[in-house]
């Protein structure tokens, strides 16, 4: 599995492109918000000869869905997320107003819902869906037990795409729509910190970390 990271939009969202040796790819939070960012994403996908097979949102706060409309128009693939976050798509303008962010490229409806324990798979890439509510009601992380490649300088380390659930030295805020701090901490302890310590955590914002490093904070 190859992992390409972009940092997009005014909120600094980490967007990830996962691909296999034959060019099948999964996009996670492809949140490009302007023409320069959209061009960077499209240029990489075209240059690497990738086919976009799945588009996953870790959650549906505005900063993580800013590229959904572009990706659907360009590649014909609708995003998938947890059903509990679907109401946030109806509040995109309200979310934008909160942060003084005008925009007119609203994310369209989802193509399907993901639930805890689901498997998202293309040949050579297998992601297990972990539902951890608290930052948003439908917050998701995606766990790859066998990356088959080097991630963060460790050969074949497991990887977790944690969205805004867990960051390096921090956790997601819980004061936004549908947030619940207790649920977030409990979910992190029960579903994420129980993963192997060498699991590389690739968060929705900021630098990489590992499960072992984040256990020190709990």
Query: What is the predicted pLDDT for the residue at 96?
Result: 86
pTM above 0.75, yes or no: yes
Query: What is the predicted pLDDT for the residue at 146?
Result: 83
Average pLDDT across each block of 10 residues of the chain; the chain has 218 residues. List them in order: 96 97 97 96 98 98 96 98 97 87 85 98 97 98 83 78 98 92 98 97 98 96
Distance between CA atoms of residues 23 and 18, nearest Å: 9
Range of the domain at 184: 2-215
Sole residue written with tokens 């689901």: 118
Phi, psi of 2 (to 5 degrees): -100, 140
User: How many Cβ atoms sit within 10 Å of the Cβ of residue 124?
Assistant: 17
Query: What is the predicted pLDDT for the residue at 61?
Result: 96
Distance between CA atoms of residues 183 and 174, nearest Å: 9
Query: What is the predicted pLDDT for the residue at 104?
Result: 73
- Total of domains in the chain: 1
Query: What is the predicted pLDDT for the residue at 177?
Result: 84
Output the domain CATH number for residue 194: 3.60.15.10
């Amino acid at each position: 599995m190859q992992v390409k990271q972009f940092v997009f939009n005014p909120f600094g969202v980490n967007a990830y492109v996962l691909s296999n040796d034959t060019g099948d790819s999964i996009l996670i939070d492809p949140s490009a918000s302007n023409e320069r960012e959209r061009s960077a994403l499209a240029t990489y996908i075209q240059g690497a000869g990738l086919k976009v097979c799945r588009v996953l949102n870790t959650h549906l706060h505005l900063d993580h869905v800013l590229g959904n409309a572009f990706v659907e128009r360009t590649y014909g693939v609708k995003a998938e997320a947890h059903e509990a976050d679907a109401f946030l798509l109806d509040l995109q303008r309200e979310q934008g107003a909160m942060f003084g962010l005008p925009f007119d490229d609203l994310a369209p409806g989802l193509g399907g819902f993901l639930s805890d324990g689901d498997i998202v798979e293309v040949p050579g890439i297998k992601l297990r869906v972990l539902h951890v509510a608290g930052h948003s009601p439908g917050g998701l992380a995606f766990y790859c037990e066998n990356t088959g490649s080097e991630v963060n300088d460790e050969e074949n380390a497991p990887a977790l795409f944690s969205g805004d659930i867990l960051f390096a030295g921090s956790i997601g805020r819980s004061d936004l729509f549908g947030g619940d701090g207790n649920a977030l901490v409990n979910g992190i302890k029960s579903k994420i910190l129980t993963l192997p310590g060498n699991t590389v955590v690739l968060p929705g914002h900021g630098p990489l970390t590992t499960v072992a490093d984040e256990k020190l904070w709990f």
